[in-house]
Structure 1
């Protein structure tokens, strides 16, 4: 019975950092339980004595009867996991080195507080023994340990562990770790064994749709599906998973990604703009009776070939000037091909405009019009509207009375006044420009009243 109790205590106390059987499905694990510290290792003078009383928990082990360690670990791949643990204990049994062949003695150093923080790299042997419940492991690592106020040192750790998995994510873990102190003297920090026992919970895995396939391996994590399709459903049972099936609710062959071809023209119905009438691939399965590249259903002239830009109909030429309306900038007025279908401004037209312009009268030394000038301006507007594709320049001139600067400014203002009036009367602003030349370009003498009157003028030029 005594040995049975020892075995039970050993099974409970050998636990530790538990990340066994972690994998990419449940990469995280958390363990908690109790730990025991055995200082006999550093007291033994011979190697065989270090482990001769391994199960002597009653005499040698320091146990804090409560949850005294916590470990968090993560699977990193290839059966390896990395964990961090923190543990606490109370040292009230300190094994002293024996004298000669005498017995080992155990003393109470004064209920010293024990704290440890350790990192561990764990390797699971579960795959080697091909078990789904028993998970042996080996581990190495290092950390730092504090005992009381005066003893503290870094340690190099290594040991063995075993986890029994009750379920896929819950297990009982036991582990023993040998902690080799970096301090030379036992009084500074003894090397020792630390044993752990507790429960381990794996987590991190997710199966949103409950089909038994973890989301990370489930090609359709939000839809319950079949294992042969990596968790995706096949609603129409055509052997193509819905995620790869272009028509998941209607069965079809694999060559058409699971879609039918009703009209048999080699184009799946989903891609066939005319699924019930055989047609051409180039036109998405629709026919083209007149061969103009426009499908019959979209062709406003299905029996007469025409360009796609005009819905399959020939382009019209409303004004009959042999410039198609699409290229005719004046589609309702006959013009010339050279002038993009618009009528060309002849010398006679320019003469008519200038004949009107010569009669434009301004108030003395101003750019405002006299009342009798408005009919003249309206006549000019009418002529310009006949040539909507032509541009014109309005040039202002004065006689020699006054200073050059005054005359230059006045000529500019008068040319601009004519331009603005024409724009306000419906002529596009981008067709007109204006400039003034002052008294620099007289067409008559400035020595007579009649000559001066001729020099005060606005001229119209065709901009080519």
Structure 2
């Protein structure tokens, strides 16, 4: 038992090496189970080396020594590229010691005798380098391997070194737990002692891999986990996809709401090509230029801000068309004559035609003044002024000139002042009737521009007049 204690101390020392840096997932493995020792291979006899070693490899009943308990323990560490290094300790009791003695009583047909040497204990400490073919054959369940190594065997009071070679086959139930089967041929070198024997040792046990660190518990080891502190998915190297839209959270602009790759993981509920997070109208399809809002009348004003959503209008007027009272196609705001139709070329005002001027002139001719004065003489004058004002107001962007004229009675100076006063009287009367003062001017010409002779009363009457001219 003193050797068994040495074995477990060695095993614990190997397990304590785990402070090294890991270079693969679950680099450590511990294996334990039952071992069987077959001593026939060193009994001698047989026709040749192969016959001596492999003529009865599975004669469990006659050749195998099995201790019916856990009888071996191994610890190994992965060192890269399919290789691992391990240390195994085993214990057994030899009650079937095979020798070759064709003359001894009880020998079999080939000359082998099986004896029970009594309380002959077996202890072994072995180190080995193992190569796994698992990655080579691209398997996750079947794990065939070969191994080489050496060890030291204690058999009764004898002890000896061995060179070991063997093979193994492991079936992994899970990533970390498997059934391990193995066999090793242990070649001994001290043949002077009858108990120093080369032998086969077979093992069957359970193996556990461990040592891989998975901080977030997502089943992906930290060394392969791009997000080691947050549980994630294997297809994203351990990073999460909270909303399940197939876009990893770190690249998802909307990680908690399922969306589309085209929008960096954000949804587009109304399918208008504008992500909801940027869409001012996420539930109704609209235009990217209007932040995803619709524009029914295509006037560039989103319906939600358009006071006239079905009629096109400028943004400055909240999407409604500018009023055009006179219907001339010139908006009131740009129409110098908003209440009377006119062409845009004349700012919405009607153009002054010769017919209009004739109408103004005919009214002006019948505006009579008291003799030598600038006061109106005829009771019909106000009606004529009303008619003139009504016409002039229709041409608000035109300017007119009111001319005053006299006959030749009196001095030139007096007639000049009188003509100016009479022209001013007409102008003022028109301004009082709503004609813009900026659009009407007055001038007096005295007796300088007669239209008839001043030698007759009738001619003088025609010369005492007011006239209307278009300035522009």
Taking structure 2 as the reference length, the TM-score comes to 0.45
- Work out which structure has the larger RCO, using CA pairs closer than 8 Å and 6 or more positions apart in sequence: 1
Give the number of the structure whose alpha-carbon radius of gyration is greater. 2
- Normalising by the residue count of structure 1, what TM-score does the alignment of the two structures yield? 0.46
